[in-house]
Amino acid sequence: MSKYARILVVAAVSAVAALTMSAAAPTAVGVDTSALRAAVTVGGIMGHENALQAIADANDGTRAIETPGFDDSVDYVVGALQAAGYKPTVQAFSFSLFTDITPPVFARTSDPQPQKTYANGFDGDFLTMEWSGNGDVTAQLEPVGPFVLPPTGGSASGCTAADFATFTPGHVALMQRGTCAFRVKVDNAVAAGASGVVIFNEGNVVPDDDRVGVLNGTLDPPATPAAIPVIGTSFAVGDELYQLATTTGATVHLKVNAGLVTRNSRNVIADTAGGRADRTVVLGAHLDSVPAGPGINDNGSGTATILEIAEAMAQLKVNPVNRVRFAFWGAEEEGLIGSQAYVDSLTKSDLKNIMLNLNFDMVGSPNFVRFVYDGDGSAFGADGPNGSGMIESVFTDYFRSLATPLATAPTEFDGRSDYQAFINAGIPAGGLFSGAEGIKTAAEAAIYGGTAGDPYDACYHQACDTNKNLNTTALDQMSDAAAHATLVFAMTKSSVNGTDKASNQAKDNMQFKGSLARS
């Protein structure tokens, strides 16, 4: 699951091969999914997970794009699909990414405080802002208010030129996140003669955003670099610097060398031979890991689940009423890029032929919750394109219908996984999620078990996301639900509530929250 998105340009999409599968089949009316669910086993899923782990073990512990580990992962999925009777397509694509070319540096260098070097990264102290300028400066840090400390929200720090009325040219400006775009703050700082900018997170707790951790921001629009280096920090780092700067003073060293680089990756696509091509059901999971680890929950769990479903459908010789497409996306961890490249490669006619997208990104989290995407917007107020509510109900009704009903919880379409490209194209979407870095509440622990106060997945985006980092109960329950929904939509002869023709744009109230923060 991507924590951010830095997609800028998607280009050079190419394809190799198509797909078939022999079939002979059950009927669509009152579809019984028990045989498929029985054929989709935890043992089969773990077989794929162990294979992905072995690939990572043989390749420096990672399956990130542009590494041998990712290449071997593609080969593994292609081989498994071919062995099941499919003819998978490999779709290559390239994209431009704004990224650090050399590691950025941020340090406090002044006396009388001890000098301190801050750690770069999502789990560290600071990140380079997208479209930061380059530079290597050592200068006094100067706070530019108005600040809201202790934080309650609503800081307008650096939002007007008047805030810089007494600013000393050549200093590095320290500002708090708040009510205006980061670009406005930075443009004001440049006009005042600042040599660099440090923007720290706001610090207040809000339900749908991270205003405490490391600030992952962008200066877009416009998509042109600033004139000076710009970084974002956590609230804790910013508050520390503010207290020092307003008492004893603080000098900092700030170095950024960033820009656009061209990256390459691949998707793997496979279709059932049978089924209406104008009502295609797309099952998606991303195949890549982050560079830091093997990505066996994120997202080996989704990859293994849909691969197991594909194999089970072939084994049972399912002849679907509607074509089923199994998609394994590349470069999700770089910003949902593979799925976007795929959607961008489709013609208007192709888009209209996609009935819906089911997304499975992290379904084996060790401290799991059975999250179902909030397709009708009843929980979070942001519904997906027409038909998304029907997808949500298929999942929730399934869990409720079990001999021992299982509880579910809604999760927001927050733009952090590959459904987003489909939603943006007006295609209904839904799926399952067992939790990432979020913290399990006491109420959730009472319902789902596990440990309150701990992350759903403490190894999210880390080296410890191995085949030991999986909850097989979650895999069992979520894969059964995934198999059920797949077959229900594969066999239905009814319209999925408005999905016979996908519109060219998503619902107006659908917000993309997975990208970098802009304000």
Q: DSSP class of residue 441?
A: P
What is the 8-class DSSP label of residue 404?
A: S
What is the maximal distance between C-alpha atoms in the chain? 79
Token duo for residue 119? 């750690």
Listed in sequence order, the residues at least 6 apart from 352 whose beta carbon sits closer than 8 Å to its beta carbon are 278, 501, 502
Catalytic residue among 332, 333, 392, 437: 332
Q: Distance between CA atoms of 49 and 57, rounded to whole angstroms?
A: 12
d(CA 150, CA 247): 17
- Quote the CA–CA distance of 468 and 117 in Å, as a whole number: 34
The 3-state secondary structure of 290-324 reads CCCCCCCCCCHHHHHHHHHHHHHHHHCCCCCCEEE
> Side chain identity at 373, as an amino acid letter?
Y
Residues 6+ apart with CB under 8 A from 213: 122, 201, 234, 235
DSSP of 218-241: B-PSS-S--SS-EEEE-HHHHHHH
| 219 phi and psi angles, rounded to 5 deg | -100, 20
Beta bridge partners of 432: 360, 372
Other C-beta atoms within 10 Å of 492: how many? 20
Q: Could you tell me the sign of the dihedral formed by the alpha carbons of 50, 54, 56, 57, in that order?
A: positive
Exposed / middle / buried, residue 401 (Cβ in 10 Å: 0-12, 13-18, 19+): exposed
Query: Is residue 332 annotated as part of the catalytic site, yes or no?
Result: yes
C-beta separation of 313 from 491 below 8 A: no
Q: Which residues are catalytic?
A: 332
